[in-house]
Chains A and B, each alone.
Chain A
């Protein structure tokens, strides 16, 4: 790889690899200062580490927060999977005034800093809502924020695939007497599945880790404390070991989601080819 490659690897180590190694080892309270100690000591040390990890992750606050994040992220990814297909359909197949503008609006949640997304939602769905819809400190507020930030993933995963489908098989289905619903479900949707799943995975992973857009609308009460908010609260109280443990659990969760979405979407693709 040469000298440049070595420098890049060093940079990656400094800003990604070393910090994550430090996080995981801290989550299990494994200390580098115990080098040279005997096997019995290490066995005790590691089992104690696992116990601290487990008690931090299963503390009632942590459990509630992780559960809240899981069901919110799942629902948000599911809702946006459906709406993503609908929006992509309208953007690709429909023709009306302002369609190009609509297409660029989809990217706005990507480009908008997450805290701005939070403020933007509070401007209309907050305590001084001009339309009297106050979602401050409710799960619906959290859901709205997560729907907002994950929408581009769901739309942009499906849109190019939909645009590349040829219309012949749909025409054939229609000629054979299938209605538009039947045509959609038995001709179009099967070829869209892999991309819908990929979008679902991306949206889910993003929602699990999201913090900025929900940090204001959550308000900081236990009922609306998501997993990442819970970790932030721990750091604010300088409880770094607990924060590291819950972060490690979240880290594993996001990686599992991303990898499995990847594997599933590839398997679907292979079956279609």
Chain B
């Protein structure tokens, strides 16, 4: 048994080392390759900062909307029966089950000048192709299910006893939500919000299609990283931006781990 176990452990460690360990270590090495000053200079240059700012603004729009929608939909799914519930439930997974490129193309064909609703929207001065509005829509689509998926198992687990007791005692629906339901799902909500935030900050494919990659206007941080490498041949800028996002991801994972300790039904699930 012993030699088998040792061999298997070695194979697994080698695989993870080659696939994840070494690349991450070398990202840090390359980002700091010309010293911390060069890294800091890259991170704080105008284009990088405006990309970071746009990414945060988009997150500030998409995260609250998807949180409210996620909580509402979770309550509907866990607490109500209605016709078409399974279809309703499945729709939330569609944007993460298909290629982000397809999401981008779909949004353009629905809402841009060449799309279905392009003409009426243009009359109101709205256009999604090459605008921050398109970037926001694409981001909202790809980060849709995370709050819902975090809350539903917890809502099912806690059951409805408390809520029914509250109703019997004469509490209204809002009162029941704020003082009974929300407190018991708060860690799950926070968990879903963290996942949503991570996904909004990192979305690339869908945003690339709708954004047109206009520096300072529609360039989010992931697009900036791509642009630095692919178009401007500023490899250090690319490594530096990637390191910033990687550090945020590590922070996200730590927050998720802390929340999982409080609520054991939570899983890391970007599926």
Residues of A whose CB lies within 8 Å of any CB of B are 1, 4-5, 7-9, 11-12, 15-23, 26, 32, 83, 86-87, 89-90, 94, 96, 102, 104-116, 118-125, 128, 130, 144, 147-148, 151-153, 156, 180, 202, 205, 208-212, 215-216, 227-228, 231-232, 235, 240, 243-244, 247, 250-251, 254-255, 258
Contacts and interface: CB of A to CB of B under 8 A. Distances in A.
Contacts of B29: 123, 130
Contact of A89 (B8, B73, B76): B8
B184 interface: no
Interface stretch (B41-49, B136-144, B151-159, B163-171): B136-144
A235 B26 CA distance: 33
A112 B246 contact: yes
Contact of B108 (A152, A208, A240): A240
B16 A113 contact: no
User: What DSSP secondary structure best describes chain B's contact surface?
Assistant: helix
Given A5-B76, A22-B109, 19 more contacts: A1-B76, A1-B80, A7-B72, A16-B95, A16-B141, A18-B116, A21-B110, A90-B12, A110-B268, A111-B198, A111-B268, A119-B27, A148-B20, A156-B267, A212-B100, A212-B204, A216-B230, A251-B98, A254-B97
A104 B257 contact: yes
B116 A124 contact: no
17 contacts: A12-B92, A15-B95, A15-B144, A17-B91, A19-B106, A23-B105, A86-B8, A86-B12, A112-B202, A112-B245, A115-B242, A120-B26, A151-B19, A180-B4, A209-B98, A235-B104, A255-B98
B180 interface: no
A116 B246 contact: yes
Nearest to A144: B19
Contacts of A258: 97
Interface in B98-142: 98-111, 114-117, 137, 140-141
A20 B101 contact: no
Contacts of A107: 253, 256, 268
Contacts of A120: 23-24, 26-27, 242, 246
B243 to A, nearest CB: 8
B270 A152 contact: yes
A96 B5 CA distance: 11
Interface string B1-13: 1001100110111
Interface string B247-271: 0011011001100000000011111
Interface residues of B, number: 86
Nearest to B221: A113
A228 B98 CA distance: 10
Contacts of B239: 119, 123
Contacts of A125: 23
B99 A8 contact: no
Contacts of B188: none
A94 B242 CA distance: 34
Nearest to A14: B137
Contacts of A108: 20, 24, 249-250, 253
Contacts of B20: 105, 108-109, 148, 151
Interface in B186-215: 198, 201-205, 208-209
Contacts of A211: 99-101, 204-205, 208
Interface in B217-248: 222-223, 225-226, 229-230, 235, 238-239, 242, 245-246
A123 B23 contact: yes
Nearest to B198: A111
Nearest to B22: A124
Kindly list the 4 A-B residue pairs having the minimum CB-CB distance in the complex, ordered from nearest: A113-B202, A209-B99, A19-B106, A22-B110
B111 A19 contact: yes
A209 B101 contact: yes
B87 to A, nearest CB: 10
A147 B252 CA distance: 22
